[in-house]
Amino acid sequence: MSNVEHEHGPNCDCPDCGDPRSMDFLDKYLTVWIFVAMAVGVGLGYVAPSVTEPIQNLHFVEIGLVLMMYPPLAKADYSQLRAVFSNWRVLGLSLVQNWLIGPTLMFGLAVIFFSGLVPGLPARPEFFLGLVFIGMARCIAMVLVWNELAEGSTEYVTGLVAFNSLFQIITYGVYVWFFALFLPPLLGMDALVTGITTFEITPWDVFKAIVIFLGIPFAGGFLTRYVGTRAKGEEWYDEEFIPKIDPLTLVALLFTVIVMFATQGENIVASPGDVLLIAVPLTIYFVVMFLVSFGMGRGIGADYSTTTAIGFTAASNNFELAIAVAVAVFGVGSGVAFATVVGPLIEVPVLLALVNVALCFQRKFDWPGSNTGSLDASAPDPAAND
């Protein structure tokens, strides 16, 4: 469903473009399948909590994420990445959104809901730290799926994810220290970090997550396109090979949702109030980040596909990294780990809804260019050779 493979382009006026009847069965009812997968996962984890151990030992979540990301990365035209990185407006905008606005907004929401400073909302240090862990981890995985479903630029989202991944290696530990340990005492919230003397998030922790969740599918996708196009040609690769692997993204997404929620099914059922409490600031975060980032992308003159890549890159988070770090530091049964696992429970339906919002914006507004990754309507179309 990416803009590269969309036959008519996102600005096409033909009646089938954007028409739900033109979607295949799996895509058309994706919302239903997502909720069914969530229910199956939570039910499985509640009825048979012992499944958590084999899921973790066999790395089912990691396998599902890698398989989920492979088709979008195999679709990407990597010859366009140089143009992506040469556009400093897009890179600068992504930097501001992901490493200034996003972390600050999540910290602010964590303070409002879990610091105890707001009357009627008691202090919940474990949830506060969980949200900080989430907010500082910029997305390197599922953003590729949301972007593809919304017909965003595969090349731009790949470039932005790679850019933010490299930046994340350097900054994640520093950001967690700053927002979780350094800043709260300055704002009179010493109780939030009482009993936590120190914890360490090393660049190696971040690097391992990036290698697993981005490096493996990235290498697989790049090699597949390189070998496939040279052996069989561009036409065969785009028209025959890609349609065969395309369903793997959504199948792997449903599998990942099931196994991820199965690991916390018992806790989710036992504490529905806590789930709802964590859901509120996360929902606010996703919606605000998407709308603000989408507006900023349109404000600098980006076309629809580029703006969509910008919006979803900023609105998504690397829950895999946040969960891994929370479990490593505080343990799998901790409130911090619980808060990070609730994250994808909320992200999946909210970001799925924002996919539909993006497609609505695609039809409603006039966009510069014609299915391009260019910021200038008069500039050559970087996807023209696709």
Distance of CA 313 to the CA centre of its chain: 7
Please determine, for residue 338, whether its predicted confidence score (pLDDT) is greater than 90. no
Q: What is the pLDDT of residues 134-143, one digit of tens each?
A: 999 887 667 8
Domain ranges of the chain: 20-363
Question: At 196, is the pLDDT very low, low, confident or very high (cuts 50, 70, 90)?
Answer: low
> What is the assigned CATH class of domain 20-363?
mainly alpha
Look at 376 and 355; give whichever has higher pLDDT.
355
Candidates 209, 195, 130, 136; CA nearest to 171 is 136
Show the CA angle centred on residue 34, arms to residues 31 and 36, nearest 5°. Answer: 110
Place of tokens 């799925």: 352
The answer to whether the CB of 72 falls within 8 A of the CB of 152 is no
Quick one: CA dihedral 217, 303, 151, 322, positive or negative? Answer: positive
Look at 355 and 200; give whichever has higher pLDDT.
355
Q: What is the pLDDT of residues 227-243, one digit of tens each?
A: 999 999 989 998 999 98
As a whole number of Å, the end-to-end CA separation of the chain is 15
Count, in order, helices (H) and strands (E) of the chain: 21, 0
What is the 3 state secondary structure string of 61-96?
HHHHHHHHHHHHHHHCCHHHHHHHHHCHHHHHHHHH
The answer to whether the CB of 55 falls within 8 A of the CB of 256 is no
Amino acid at residue number 178? F
Task: Please give the DSSP secondary-structure letter assigned to residue 192.
Answer: G
Q: What is the pLDDT of residues 15-52, one digit of tens each?
A: 444 443 334 566 667 668 878 988 999 899 889 888 88
Question: At 377, is the pLDDT very low, low, confident or very high (cuts 50, 70, 90)?
Answer: very low
> What is the per-residue pLDDT for 287?
97
**Whole-angstrom distance, CA of residue 136 vs CA of residue 283:** 16
> What is the per-residue pLDDT for 369?
61
Candidates 177, 174, 1, 7; CA nearest to 75 is 1
Name the 3-class secondary structure at 317: strand
> What is the per-residue pLDDT for 186?
86
> What is the per-residue pLDDT for 193?
62
